[in-house]
A and B are shown apart, each in its own frame.
Chain A
């Protein structure tokens, strides 16, 4: 069965500290993986996708097929990074995207 697991509901770090948001997935096949961000009372926005291998707002994520993980990392957290982060996966063709429960990141000054 398809599943996305984000083990941390809340992650609190100080400004300038490294941050890692964990995501593990279960999927029989080769999924596409994404990270979405939701700032307070706003719509979800795509942060990055594994196939593009890009860095957005200083965030990167590496797909580890052996560990079935797609952790989101940033070396130096900023206060404006405080938001809700969702890991998501979709099957071939990109449809039926499912999401994890989300991790709330709080960056303290």
Chain B
């Protein structure tokens, strides 16, 4: 089992550009999450999903969109990247509790 995988691992964007981060899990988990990790702020929940076809806003959803078309995939989109979105993005999945994390995507917006 690969667990939770994320692509890409690194990305540099210019302000205003768009991109999609892909998360995939092979554990048949119902719940999936996107977090951002910033120094001194810990992990903050961006969006989450409780099942295929459903998504919900977390603590810091502005500037991001998500989709869960397939149970195993959870996509995070940035329509118009801003420097404030420079961060490390972690995807996670869980069945009942204690989310299992992916390796992270380091995104820099210049």
Contacts and interface: CB of A to CB of B under 8 A. Distances in A.
A43 B103 contact: yes
A44 to B, nearest CB: 4
Provide the main secondary structure of the chain B interface.
strand
Contacts of A45: 101
Contact of A97 (B33, B102, B104): B33
A44 B94 contact: no
B90 A94 contact: no
A101 to B, nearest CB: 4
Interface string A42-68: 111110010000000000000000000
A43 B104 contact: yes
Contacts of A98: 45, 59
A101 B40 contact: yes
Interface in A46-94: 46, 49, 86, 90, 93-94
B96 A94 contact: yes
Interface in A16-39: 32, 34
B2 interface: no
A97 B50 contact: no
Interface centre among A32, A34, A45, A102 (most CB of B within 10 A): A102
Interface string B50-85: 100000101100000000000000000000000000
Contacts of A49: 97-98
Contacts of A34: 97-98
Interface residues of A, number: 22
Interface in B14-52: 31, 33, 35, 40-45, 48, 50
B102 to A, nearest CB: 6
Interface of B: 31, 33, 35, 40-45, 48, 50, 56, 58-59, 90, 92, 94-104
12 contacts: A32-B98, A44-B43, A44-B92, A45-B101, A46-B98, A93-B97, A94-B98, A95-B31, A96-B56, A97-B94, A97-B97, A102-B43
Interface of A: 6, 9, 32, 34, 42-46, 49, 86, 90, 93-102
